[in-house]
């Protein structure tokens, strides 16, 4: 299986051999405490009936899906609970590569380095569209970069690593570009709780079968080790994703 190893791993190995203190700014590890309610809930769960410790549904616990759906204004059937946003992005990209023609994933440069690795694991090629001076890709350049081979466009807003937030017009046009080219826009919104500008607009604001939103609780609740994320798919596309996910984390 091919996997494009992120370049920063080489930097980390080099830094580990340094003869001085090195500040690790690679991983987004929160330095604040998880909510007290989570701690109390975990203690309560430890005394739950044994059946609560068995295999959950492959799409995630119904109650959690309904809670997320209520907060995000979607149907619970559209929500799939995942092993962090990483698996959510993997499933979304896999769905796009399966549903739409082509075997290419378009990324914004610079980008979160794991996207390219996910694409290579799925047998897809990657191409890059440069971010502008303001950190936002020029939309006409994005449109020009999309071609027949492009089946998935991945964006992060608020962006990792630049921190820039895409406004509503940008998000809407990105979804339109994906739809016009029979591709899927995957909008990774894991840092949505860290937008203090008020400019953030979720891709969920655009009703389209050509967009998927991914997110997680790792950063916002300071529980990176819990690995709880989710993906919100358009209505009617959750079934094939469920089928492709079941053999992977569902059992064993």
Q: Is residue 50 part of a domain?
A: no
pTM: 0.87
Q: pLDDT per residue over 196-233, tens digit each?
A: 989 999 999 999 999 999 999 998 998 888 899 999 99
The whole-number pLDDT of residue 238 equals 55
DSSP-derived secondary structure for the chain: ------THHHHHHHHHT-SS-----SS----SPPPHHHHHHHHHHTTS-GGGGSPPPTT--HHHHHHHHHHHTS-GGGEEEESHHHHHHHHHHHHHHHHSS--EEEEEES--THHHHHHHHTT-EEEEEEB-TTSSBPHHHHHHH--TTEEEEEEESS-TTT-----HHHHHHHHHHHHHTT-EEEEE-TTGGG--SS----GGGS--TTEEEEEESTTTTT-GGG--EEEEPPTT-HHHHHHHHTTTTS--
Q: Is residue 198 part of a domain?
A: yes
The whole-number pLDDT of residue 249 equals 58
Q: Is residue 238 part of a domain?
A: yes
Q: pLDDT per residue over 102-126, tens digit each?
A: 899 999 999 998 999 999 999 999 9
Number of domains, the chain: 1
CATH of the domain at 213: 3.40.640.10
- Per the structure, the complete domain to which residue 169 belongs is given by 81-246
């Amino acid at each position: 299986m091919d996997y494009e190893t992120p370049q920063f791993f080489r930097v980390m190995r080099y830094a580990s051999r340094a003869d001085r203190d090195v500040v690790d700014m690679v991983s987004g590890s929160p330095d604040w405490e998880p909510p007290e309610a989570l701690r109390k809930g975990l203690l309560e769960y430890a005394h739950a009936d044994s059946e609560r410790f068995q295999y959950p549904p492959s799409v995630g616990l119904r109650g959690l899906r309904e809670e997320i759906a209520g907060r995000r204004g979607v149907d619970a059937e559209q929500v799939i609970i995942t092993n962090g946003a990483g698996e959510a992005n993997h499933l979304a990209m896999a769905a796009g590569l399966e549903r739409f023609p082509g075997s290419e994933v378009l990324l914004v440069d610079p980008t979160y380095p794991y996207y390219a690795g996910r694409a290579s694991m799925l047998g897809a090629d990657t191409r890059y569209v440069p971010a502008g001076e303001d950190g936002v890709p020029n939309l006409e350049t994005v449109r020009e970069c999309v071609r027949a081979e492009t089946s998935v466009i991945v964006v992060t807003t608020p962006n990792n690593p630049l921190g820039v937030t895409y406004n509503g017009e940008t998000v809407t046009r990105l979804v339109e570009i994906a739809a016009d080219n029979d591709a899927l826009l995957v909008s990774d919104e894991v840092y949505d709780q860290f937008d203090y500008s008020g400019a953030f607009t979720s891709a969920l604001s655009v009703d389209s079968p050509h967009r998927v939103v991914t997110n997680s609780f790792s950063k916002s609740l300071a529980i990176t080790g819990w690995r709880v994320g989710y993906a919100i798919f358009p209505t009617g596309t959750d079934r094939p994703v469920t089928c492709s996910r079941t053999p992977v984390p569902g059992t064993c």
